[in-house]
């Protein structure tokens, strides 16, 4: 964790990086995710940038929409 970073900030950044990597591997765009998961583009952008930790249900739905195991990030 970086100096001065709160644990939640670090968790948000790690989760955001993992979600971005998953999205890139899937070949789907943020617009695709907005439609599939029914989340605003601004919220998705914050989640994928790691500035906000999404609710667990949102993480699960995003992973499912990206074709990944929906429970894999539960520990983050």
Q: CATH number of the domain that 51 lies in?
A: 1.10.260
Provide the domain count of the chain.
Answer: 1
pLDDT in the model for residue 36: 85
Q: How much of the chain, in percent, has pLDDT values that exceed 90?
A: 26
pLDDT in the model for residue 2: 45
Residue 17 located in a structural domain: yes
Q: Is the pTM of this model over 0.85?
A: no
Distances (CA, A) of 39 to 4, 5, 17, 57, 64: 31, 27, 18, 12, 14
**Cα 8 from chain centre:** 14
Residue 58 located in a structural domain: yes
**Is a pLDDT exceeding 80 seen at residue 37?**
yes
The domain of 36 spans 7-65
Return the closest-CA partner of residue 61 out of 38, 28, 29: 38
Residue 24 located in a structural domain: yes
Residue 74 located in a structural domain: no
Residue 25 located in a structural domain: yes
pLDDT in the model for residue 50: 93
pLDDT interval class at 76 (50, 70, 90): low
**Cα 31 from chain centre:** 14
Judge contact between 15 and 75, C-beta under 8 A. no
């Amino acid at each position: 964790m970086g100096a001065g970073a709160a644990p939640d900030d670090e968790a948000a950044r790690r989760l955001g990086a993992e979600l971005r990597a998953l999205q890139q591997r899937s070949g789907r765009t943020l617009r695709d995710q907005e439609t599939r998961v029914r989340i605003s583009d601004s919220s998705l952008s914050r989640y994928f940038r790691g500035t906000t930790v999404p609710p667990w249900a949102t993480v699960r739905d995003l992973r499912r929409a990206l074709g990944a195991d929906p429970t894999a990030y539960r520990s983050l």
